[in-house]
Amino acid sequence: MSLYDFAKPFLFMLSAERAHSLAISALKIGILPHRNINNSNILSQNIWGLNFPNPIGLAAGFDKNAEVYSSMLKKGFGFVETGTVTPLPQSGNTKPRVFRLKADQAIINRLGFNNLGLDYYTNQLKKRLKENGIVGANIGANKLSSDPANDYVIGLGRVLGLADYFTINVSSPNTPGLRALQGKEALDDLLLKLKTLRDEFSVNSKSPLLLKIAPDLNKYECEDIAEIILKHEIDGLIISNTTLSREGLKSQLKDQDGGLSGGPLFELSTRVLSNMYKLTKGNVPLVGVGGISSGLGAYKKIKAGASLVQLYSALVYHGPGLASKIADELEILLKKDGFSNITEAIGLDHK
C-alpha cells in the first residue's frame, strides 16, 4: 500500500479544496516521497526546442501560484504547467466550489481562477532552477476586468522569460464571457497582440505560445480556431479544458455548476483532439488533456494526435505516484507495438 492509499480515506473526509490545500502544504515542506522519472529514450522527444524526458505533464490548476512545480517534477512528471494566473489577485467563486464525483471518477469545479496574482506568481518563477525540468505558465483574465484581452497582454508581458512555454487559457467555463474569446474575430485579434508581444521579446529564440481550448466546441468553431492558429503560427494547442456536459454521469452531485473533469471527459476531449489534428494536418503539436488515468489512456491520446498529455483530476483518486505509473505503462505499450520512439505513434489513428 502506498502512502497515498493510506492517506486517501482521511483526505476524502475533508472537502476537495481543503485536501488540495493540504497537498500543496505537504509538497512545500517536502514530506511526500519522490519518484524516479521515466526518461527512457522511447519516451523522450524534442518539441519547441525543449527536451521532454517523458510526455506526461501536470495540467494547470494544481499549482496555481507556481509554488510546488519543482516538487511535482520530482514525482515523475515530464513537465509541469503552473497557473492559471491573472494580473490581479482574486479569491474566486463562493465556496464550496469543488466536488468529487466518486462514482464517475470525476471532479466538478467552479473555482473561478482563484490565485494570488502576477506579483506573487512571477516572484515564485524567478526562483526556478531551469535544469530541474520543463515548466509552463498558464495565463488568464480577471473576472471583473473591463478589457479581458488586455489582461492576457499584461500577463504574457510579465511571465515571458520566466517559463519554458506559455499557455493562453480562454476556455475556462467559470469566468463569465471568457469562452467568447475563442470566437474567430476575438481570437484573431488576441493572438495577433500576443504573438507580436512574444516576437518583440524573443527575437532570436521564440518562446512557445500555446492555446488551451474547450471540449464543447462544434465543428465550425474548431475549423475557425484551426484557421486562426495556423494563420498566426501558434506553437501548440492544449485540448482540452473542462466540459459543461453532464452526459452519462451517475453521481448525485452531477448537477453542480462548473466544469467537469476526469474520466467522463476522456471520449469528448479525445474526439476534439483527433479533429484538431486533422484540421491542422498534424503540423501543430497538440497536448491531450481530459480523463487520463492510465498508460492506455495516454496512448489513446497520442494515437489520436497528441505529442504530449496532461492530467490532474486522476491524482485525486490515484495519488501523486500516478505520473510514473502512466509513463511506465506507456513505455510497455509502445514497445509492444514495435515503436522505438513515441514520435512514431503520434497520430497513428490517422495513418
State the DSSP string of 48-61: TTEEESSSEEEPTT
Tens of pLDDT, residue by residue, the chain (351 residues): 577 777 888 889 999 999 999 999 999 988 777 777 777 899 999 999 999 999 999 999 999 999 999 999 999 999 999 999 999 999 999 999 999 999 999 999 999 999 999 999 999 999 998 888 999 999 999 999 999 999 999 999 999 999 999 999 999 988 888 888 999 999 999 999 999 999 998 766 789 999 999 999 999 999 999 999 999 999 999 999 999 999 999 999 999 999 999 999 999 999 999 999 999 999 999 999 999 999 999 999 999 999 999 999 999 999 989 999 999 999 999 999 999 999 999 999 998
Which CATH number describes the domain made up of 33-350?
Answer: 3.20.20.70
Q: Rounded to an integer, what distance in angstroms lies between the CA atom of residue 126 and that of residue 74?
A: 19
The CA-based angle 28-106-35, given to 5 degrees, is 35
Q: Which helix (H) or strand (E) holds 239?
A: strand 236-239
73 in Cβ contact with 133 (< 8 Å): yes
Give residue 175's region: left, alpha or beta (phi > 0; psi -120 to 50): beta
pLDDT at site 202 = 74
Catalytic positions: 172
Residue-level pLDDT at 4? 78
Instruction: Indicate the pTM of the whole model.
Output: 0.96
Neighbours of 193 (CB within 10 A): 14
Determine the pLDDT at residue 203. Answer: 64
Q: Which residues of 203-218 are buried (b: 16+ CB within 10 A; e: fewer)?
A: eeeebbbbbbbbbbbe
pLDDT score recorded for residue 88: 98
Q: Are 210 and 159 in contact (CB under 8 A)?
A: no
| Residue 62 CB coordination number (10 Å) | 24
Contact 288, 273 (CB under 8 A): yes
Task: Taking each helix axis as running N to C, give the angle between helix 295-304 and helix 266-279, from 0 to 180 degrees, rounded to the nearest 10.
Answer: 30
Amino acid identity, position 125 = L
Which positions ≥6 away from 138 have C-beta within 8 Å? 60, 81, 82, 83, 84, 85, 166, 167, 169, 212
Q: Structural domain boundaries of the chain?
A: 33-350
Nearest to 121 by CA among 148, 150, 146, 90: 90
Structure confidence at residue 154 (pLDDT): 98
- Residue 340 has what DSSP assignment? S
The secondary structure element, H or E, covering residue 308 is strand 306-311
CA angle 181, 186, 192 (to 5 degrees): 110
Which H or E run contains 212?
A: strand 209-213
